[in-house]
Amino acid sequence: MSESSLRSRFESLLTGDPGLVIAVLGAIYLAYILAGIVFGFTVRGHMNSLANLTFYIAVFGMLALALNLHWGYTGMFNIGVVGFMGIGVYVTAIFSKPPAAQGGAAQVGGLGLPLGVGVVAGVLAAAVFGAIVALPALRLRADYLAIVTIAFSEIMRFTFMSSTFETFTVPDTFDLTILGTTLISFDPVADTVGFGGGSGLILNYASPLEAFLKFLFLWDPYLGLVDFVGEYAIQTNPKPVVDSLVYGLLLLVVVGIYYWLLTWTGESPFGRVLKAIREDEDVANALGKNTDVFKLKAFVLGCALMGFAGVLWYAGRGSITPPSFRPNITFFVWIALIIGGAGSNTGSVLGGAVFAALLYEGPRYIKNLIEAAIDVGDGPGSFGQAMAALGSFDPVPFLVYTLNSISQLRLVIMGVVLIYLMHNRPEGMLGHRKEVASSIDLSRPEGSVHEEPAATDGGEKE
Amino acid sequence: MGVSERYSRGRQFVVEQPLALVVGLVVIWMAWFLVEGLVTGRLQVNNVLGYLWDGLLRGLIIGLAGIGLSMTYSILNFANFSHGDYITSGAFAGMAVSYLVAGFGEADIGSLLLVGAGGSVFGGALGVGIATSPIGIIAGMVVAAIATIALSLVIDRFVYKPIRDESGIALLITSVGVAFALRYLIVFVFGSRVRGTTAAGSQPQLRLVAVDGYLTINAHDVTLLVVAVGLMLGVHFLLQRTKLGKAMRAMSDNEDLARITGIPTEQVVRSTWIVGGGLTGVAGYMFVLWKGTVGFNDGWLLLLLIFAAVILGGIGSIYGAIAGGIVIGLTASMSVIWIPSEFGRAAAFLVMILILLFKPQGLFSGRTTA
């Protein structure tokens, strides 16, 4: 490969989609760091907020990418995202939690298998449930599919919450005896398994980061890194901060893998059929494609990716409880996808990043910044007290009440942003791009556009 | 009919309608389980009657709120996910007035209007209830209707009207934005705590003898029954006797055709929001009066059941919405006879999914709007 072609490749990397993603991420991080410096964050506070930001950028990026496969590519209106995430992480927990006898008899145990096995099981379970939902439901109209999927995700949440599935006792030995002869006798490790009911499951296995790094034999170098940070940046207890930062960065790598996988899928013949289904399912059918099979495959793949994203989101959290799997998260992912633009993978990543940085974490970050800069006090406990003070021309209690309610108000902001987008820019930042359906690029090559056309007005140029 | 003919007919039925067979077997098992339970004493007759009564009332609320959803679904062609939060808005608006009337002079007006946000006043202590403060309840009901009508008209003007011609999916997504904004504005103003609203203990009760126990019917049950049935009859006459019903039917059939025949479509849309919004607000208010607690999530949690009812009855049919509401309410309440109580709502959703899969046009299909 000649030097010039390498260079042009490098340039197209910076000017094309990856460059855009890098620029947006850079701007977000710069804004967060600068704001932190201005308002006087400690190094620890900085690293914590950046780790948090990275985590949410990554998980929303992944989920928006997976949803883009459903909605952006295939036109399947799935609003049961959180159900598939829940299945992924609950099944992972059941497979990987140590048996109750080891983890404390007070709580529900698990099968005690390695975390990797648990993750694979969780992703497969999400895929299987995706197929169960998709088999009958994909024939439905888009709005009916929406209602079926959200009902499904609520049924899953009731199941996680119910006392019926809270815990089951596993018998000490399984014996399969036929005609007096014991064919199989095995002793399962688990004593109790279940979803843990309303109090949820405590994820008392080794942290996912530790398991992953040990698997790659990188655990000792990693501990060295922690010591290094402890010596030069954060003297007291550096490990949790470094843990979350490194975990966030690893999740960004996973976003990259999702992006590559889905772009590759989208550009393959399979992906072209999906786009055809989105545009007009009847035509795709008439051209001899069995659209039901294509939709089923795309739905199952997307659900598996959602399940994996759910595992990555919650498996390192220490515990999971059913209220985490309310439909709100599904709508967050939808807002992220719509900000970025359905139909574009780059848009999905950007949408995830912008949503996480501005709408999801942004308001809380602003609250932290203000609280770090000035002491606002406790503020009024209710809207009535805040309004009473406002009535006597004292706006401070109202502002403090607003600040304290920021985690609720950000959902109001999200709602308003969603309405604004649907009114003014329903295609999102990058959405509904003309994606080339043929296998060779028919558009004008990138380089020739920049060449100045022959001047027609006597050769004068501005 | 010979044996062989009967046999071949049976086989044909099994092959052609395997699902109908499964459903039939499940129904037979359920009936047997119920009868066996009653005979052996595992189930008590008064409990079963209690579930039936509870399910009927729940169904009336779902049906009342479902009329509005069904009308907007068929006339504006979108599934309105903010409908649940209209219910909550009506409930809070009405309760604020009931608190004000019941507790005027006893507590400061701000706390009363905020329905006791932050635990400042308690509805039970104020004596909110049909027997203890009838004027407060009637005023609350009227305000709930008016406030919800105003809210739905304002939202329609600024949110839905500019994108009236977009696809149903675009409108659906927009309605999710409305739902978020509305729900968390309610949290901002009224707080997130679920609180008791009524002085349930001081309302008169009727104890009917039911074989092996009593069926308790309280004054709020009766209020709900009277109001819901009255409003349903009112809507029936409104749509049967006025041109509005006919115009709505025409619009849900074909909007362009309706417009060129001289039907003022925007006016019909406004009337739809007025009728639907008013019923929804009253439904929300009656819901919190009947169950005795109010929280910001009430309407949202009811919304999927209302969708179930509307789809079951057939989108666009108000009778379908009412009938569907009662079926869904009964399903959610009575399913505890057969399955654990946590799955009452899940059972109702399952009924909806089955209907969508096998009869997506609903049970009352073809009889739209009136």
A88 Cα to chain B: minimum distance (Å): 20
Q: Provide Rg for chain B, Cα atoms.
A: 22
Q: Which of A310, A312, A320 is nearest to A251 (CA)?
A: A312
Mean pLDDT of chain B: 88
Residues of B within 8 A of A152 (CB-CB) are 349, 353
Its domain, for residue B165, covers: 56-358
Inform me whether the C-beta atom of residue A388 falls under 8 Å from chain B C-beta atoms: yes
Contact A147 B170 (CB under 8 A): no
Nearest CA in chain A to B164: A423
Residues of A within 8 A of B177 (CB-CB) are 414-419, 422
- The Cα–Cα gap between A272 and A402 comes to 48
Q: For A352-373, give one letter per residue: b (16+ CB within 10 A) or e.
A: bbbbbbbbbbbbebebbbeeee
Contact B191 A77 (CB under 8 A): no
A313 Cα to chain B: minimum distance (Å): 23
- The Cα–Cα gap between B345 and A155 comes to 8
Contact A164 B340 (CB under 8 A): yes
Nearest CA in chain A to B346: A155
Among the partner residues A163, A381, A422, nearest to B174 by beta-carbon distance: A422
**Number of separate helices (H) and strands (E) present in chain B:** 15, 4
| Secondary element (H or E) of residue B313 | helix B298-313
Residues of B within 8 A of A412 (CB-CB) are 180-181, 184-185, 188
Among the partner residues B110, B177, B346, nearest to A388 by beta-carbon distance: B110
Read off the pLDDT of each residue in B350-366 and give the average, rounded to a whole number. Answer: 78
Structure confidence at residue B354 (pLDDT): 83
- Return all residues near B187 (Cβ < 8 A) that are at least 6 apart: A405, A408, B296
Which candidate in A195, A329, A412, A416 is best for mutational testing of the B interface (most B CBs within 10 A)?
A: A412
* Residue B17 in domain: no
Give the tokens for residue A149.
């999927």
Read off the pLDDT of each residue in B1-26 and give the average, rounded to a whole number. Answer: 75
- The Cα–Cα gap between B312 and B302 comes to 15
Which candidate in B342, B343, B345 is best for mutational testing of the A interface (most A CBs within 10 A)?
A: B342
B80-124: per-residue pLDDT in tens? 999 999 999 999 999 999 999 988 888 788 888 888 877 778 888
Q: Which of A170, A74, A78, A82 is nearest to A133 (CA)?
A: A78
Q: Is the pLDDT of residue B369 over 60?
A: no
Contact B345 A381 (CB under 8 A): no
Structure confidence at residue B231 (pLDDT): 95
Inform me whether the C-beta atom of residue B353 falls under 8 Å from chain A C-beta atoms: yes
Phi-psi region of A291 (alpha: psi -120 to 50; beta: other; left: phi over 0): alpha
The structural domain count of chain B equals 1
Q: Which residue has the tokens 């005609």?
A: A179
Nearest CA in chain B to A150: B304
Pick A243 or B20 by higher pLDDT. A243
Inform me whether the C-beta atom of residue A265 falls under 8 Å from chain B C-beta atoms: no
Nearest CA in chain A to B113: A384
The interface residues of chain B toward chain A in range 165-194, judged by CB-CB distance below 8 A, are 166, 168-170, 172-174, 176-185, 187-192
Structure confidence at residue A462 (pLDDT): 42
B159-216: per-residue pLDDT in tens? 999 998 888 889 999 999 999 999 999 999 998 889 888 887 788 888 888 778 888 8
Read off the pLDDT of each residue in B326-346 and give the average, rounded to a whole number. Answer: 90
Q: Is the pLDDT of residue B351 over 80?
A: yes
* Residue B11 in domain: no
Structure confidence at residue A65 (pLDDT): 95
Q: Is the pLDDT of residue B334 over 50?
A: yes
pTM of the model: 0.88
A430 Cα to chain B: minimum distance (Å): 17
Among the partner residues B178, B304, B360, nearest to A144 by beta-carbon distance: B360
Question: ∠ CA(B342), CA(B345), CA(B347), 5° rounding?
Answer: 95
- The Cα–Cα gap between A348 and A66 comes to 9
Read off the pLDDT of each residue in B279-305 and give the average, rounded to a whole number. Answer: 93
- The Cα–Cα gap between A16 and A27 comes to 17
Where chain A has pLDDT below 50, the residues are 1, 448-451, 455, 458-462
Structure confidence at residue A10 (pLDDT): 59
Residue A105 vs residues A89, A92, A169, A202, B47: alpha-carbon distances, Å? 22, 20, 12, 12, 37
Which candidate in B19, B111, B180, B297 is best for mutational testing of the A interface (most A CBs within 10 A)?
A: B180
Inform me whether the C-beta atom of residue A416 falls under 8 Å from chain B C-beta atoms: yes
Instruction: Give the range among A171-180, B134-143, B329-338 with minimum mean pLDDT.
Output: A171-180
Residues of A within 8 A of B353 (CB-CB) are 137, 148, 151-152
* Residue B211 in domain: yes
* Residue B294 in domain: yes
Nearest CA in chain B to A417: B177
Structure confidence at residue A459 (pLDDT): 46
Residues of A within 8 A of B307 (CB-CB) are 147
- The Cα–Cα gap between B221 and B215 comes to 12
Contact A164 B111 (CB under 8 A): no
DSSP B366: T
Contact A86, A325 (CB under 8 A): yes
Share of chain B above pLDDT 70, in %: 97
- The Cα–Cα gap between B90 and B111 comes to 18
Contact B304 A334 (CB under 8 A): no
Give the tokens for residue B28.
């037979």
